[in-house]
Amino acid sequence: MPKKRFTSLLCPRHLLSGDGAQSQPAGSLQRRCGNRTDWQLPRSILPAHQQHHRQHSDRPNMNRYRVKLSRCLIFSSEVLEFIEKCMVAVGTQPSHAATLADVLVEGDRRGHYSHGLNRMDMYVKDIQTGICAKEGTPTIDKETVATALVNGRNLLGPVVGNFCMDLAIQKARDAGIGWVVAYGSNHFGIAGYYSMQALKEDMIGMSYTNTSPLVVPTRAKECTLGTNPISVVAPANNGDSFVLDMATSAVALGKVELHNRRGDTIPEGWGCDSEGRLSTDPAEVLSGGGLVPIGGSETTGGYKGFGLAMMVEVFCGILAGSQYSKHIRTWRVTDRVADLGQCFVAINPACFAPGFKDRMSDLLSLHRNLEPSEPGAPVLIPGDPERSNIQNCRTLGGIPYDIEVVNHMNNFAKNFGIEPLLPVNRPVPEQMPKQMPGQMPKQMPEQMPKQMPGQMPEQTPLQNDNPSEARGRV
């Protein structure tokens, strides 16, 4: 009897065939129910008794042969194009839509999914309702050689952020430091996107923003502060760097939203209920409760996070003259403009003691080389987890997304007639079924075909990884 040579089942539309087995049409491996994400084996490759069962049973049970995808792989170019189309569909200036897409995709690449594609619908609604300006350019109200006050003119946050950080870097070249604050801005994505721009000039970079009141201060029951993120970066040798990018709340609100969308509980110390008591129910945190500062309760140091959040408010809302604290509009309520305050700083280390990058590299190495408390879990410095996520995206050739988030955004985009929607049937390699009935042993990711049915033309990992490079191919 000839030996059957089955190919590995790699995606719902991949064909299986072998000597003595009938080749299957491209659509036979996926149920004809739109963008369903479960795999089902064709009858021809099932054991004989299962073929009989499938033919004659009124209620065939195929659950044991079905793999439910929880995540899917999407190319950076696909996400960029999708976000841009959604934003342009509601009237956003194309260059502003591209700027926003870059920031959101970078957030996802770095593993900050709470500030990436997951946020797109919020930006679309802000433009659609007219509560955020569709086009324009920020302006400078006043400036000195090292400082500036910018009017964001109610534009998208990333547009204001790029303008201000560019200005801060320019001033740091001339004066050694640039300190720029802005009012009239909006949500700008991950704070690290702007501070990291200073690394290209071998400078220290900082960025801060206030946000809608989402955090309940220590000993209180009412939200009066935002997540008020802090980002500080510093260059080291050989392209290495220190990259701190954190909220002053225990977590970002988006992480609680993601847990709620998936129906998961949250760790204790992330948020509280309407009475100020710590809660593990994301629904209680999102409806009447709030996030808590870094540190959690007072006994575990929550008052320190409270103090950091107020410091950011001083740099942003108070210094820039924007809205601040509880005066900022409620999160996701678009009854009035946000008028957020933001702060951007660039510092040239060359104006201080020589050898900055050498000492910075030593500081990073000193901590990375510490003996870990648990074998196999090395000490990570700020920025290392993000570097790991970026490398993972390079290896995979795209960004892994939670399937529920993608489905949510696709359904949202249908309201504007966006095509194509984001693909949901491209599995993340680590999710490949280990071995299914009638299938050869699993293949490693490097054995995956160069191009699968219904897939975009082949993209190398490096091409997929960088949003700006991916943009050139869209």
Give pLDDT, residue 331.
Answer: 82
DSSP per-residue codes, 302-361: HHHHHHHHHHHHIIIIIHHT---GGGSPPTT--SS---EEEEEEEE-GGGSSS-HHHHHH
Tell me which residue has tokens 């309760």: 297
Cβ-proximal residues to 254 (8 Å cutoff; 6+ apart), any chain:
113, 114, 115, 118, 119
Model pLDDT for residues 139-178, shown as the tens digit of each residue? 999 999 999 999 999 999 999 999 999 999 999 999 999 9
Six token digits for residue 290: 């709030």
Give me the number of domains the chain comprises. Answer: 1
Cβ atoms of 77 and 423 within 8 Å: the answer is no
Q: Is the pLDDT of residue 21 over 60?
A: no
Give pLDDT, residue 96.
Answer: 98
- The Cα–Cα gap between 79 and 474 comes to 10
44 in a structural domain: no
Is residue 68 very low, low, confident or very high in pLDDT (cuts 50, 70, 90)?
low
Give pLDDT, residue 102.
Answer: 98
459 in a structural domain: no
**What average pLDDT does the chain have?**
83
457 in a structural domain: no
388 in a structural domain: no
**Residue among 132, 113, 107, 109 nearest 122 (CA):** 132
Residue type at 268 in one-letter notation: E
- The Cα–Cα gap between 432 and 201 comes to 42
Model pLDDT for residues 81-121, shown as the tens digit of each residue? 999 999 999 999 999 999 999 999 999 999 999 899 999 99
Is residue 261 left, alpha or beta, with left meaning phi > 0 and alpha meaning psi from -120 to 50?
A: alpha
33 in a structural domain: no
Q: Is 332 exposed, middle or buried (0-12, 13-18, 19+ CB in 10 A)?
A: exposed
Mean pLDDT of 247-272: 90
Residue type at 97 in one-letter notation: A
Give pLDDT, residue 435.
Answer: 38
Sign, Cα dihedral of 381, 382, 383, 388 = positive
352 in a structural domain: yes
Q: Is the pLDDT of residue 205 over 80?
A: yes
Q: Which domain holds residue 220?
A: 139-250+292-367
Strands (E), 189-229: 204-209
Residue type at 241 in one-letter notation: S
345 in a structural domain: yes
Mean pLDDT of 180-200: 98
Lowest mean pLDDT among 51-65, 336-350, 421-435: 51-65
Is residue 429 very low, low, confident or very high in pLDDT (cuts 50, 70, 90)?
confident
Model pLDDT for residues 391-414, shown as the tens digit of each residue? 999 999 999 999 999 999 999 999
Give pLDDT, residue 258.
Answer: 80
The three-class DSSP label of residue 141 is: strand
CATH number at residue 334: 3.30.1370.60
Mean pLDDT of 435-443: 37
Whether this model's pTM surpasses 0.85 = no
121 in a structural domain: no
On the question of a cis peptide bond just before residue 420, with omega within 30 degrees of 0, the verdict is yes
